């Protein structure tokens, strides 16, 4: 399954869309107050990706193990110390509300940690490459500005 994301930003707006297979889902991500870029940065989205992945996977793995869970809360955090520097000390915590025995929940947490795809991607240090670099043409000047 191919998963992709696209962000488009200019003076007229900010659009974010994620696509899984052929299903596109727009996300409500506001622009920065000055309009240049996203109000949510990549590090924040990475922490959200880790928390979301683990949350979703807890439900999936609980179903596989036959555990009923009533709710999940996941927090993820990391330290980003400067421009161009990789995150350090990535960590996360999870709480599961369930009537299941604590040993069963501990097993669920461990087994989910082992199969959480985003966590395993970060842990593996998967290479990231820029495939194309280029400039898009500038928009035509507004009529009557005399610029060409």
DSSP for 20-65, written as a single string: ETTEEEEE--PBPTTSSSBSS-HHHHHHHHHHHHHHHHHHHHHHHH
pLDDT value at position 132? 83
β-pair type (88-97, 23-27): unpaired
Distinct helix (H) and strand (E) counts, the chain = 3, 5
Global pTM value: 0.86
Q: Where are the domains of the chain?
A: 1-30, 40-125
pLDDT value at position 119? 97
pLDDT value at position 75? 98
**For the domain 40-125, what is the CATH code?**
3.30.300.20
Those residues of the chain that have pLDDT short of 50 are: 147-148
Structure tokens at 30: 């506001």
């Amino acid at each position: 399954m191919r998963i992709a994301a696209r962000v488009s930003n200019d003076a007229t707006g900010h659009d974010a869309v994620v696509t899984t297979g052929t299903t596109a889902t727009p996300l409500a991500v506001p622009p920065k107050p000055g309009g240049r870029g996203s109000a949510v940065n990549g590090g924040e989205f990475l922490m959200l990706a880790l928390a979301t992945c683990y949350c979703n996977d807890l439900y999936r793995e609980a179903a596989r193990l036959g555990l009923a869970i009533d709710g999940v809360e996941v927090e993820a955090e990391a330290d980003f110390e400067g421009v161009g520097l990789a995150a350090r000390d990535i960590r996360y915590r999870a709480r599961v509300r369930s009537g299941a025995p604590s040993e069963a929940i501990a097993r669920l947490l461990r087994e989910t940690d082992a199969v959480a795809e985003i966590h395993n991607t970060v842990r593996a240090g998967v290479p990231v490459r820029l495939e194309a670099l280029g400039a898009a043409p500038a928009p035509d000047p507004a009529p009557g500005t005399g610029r060409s």
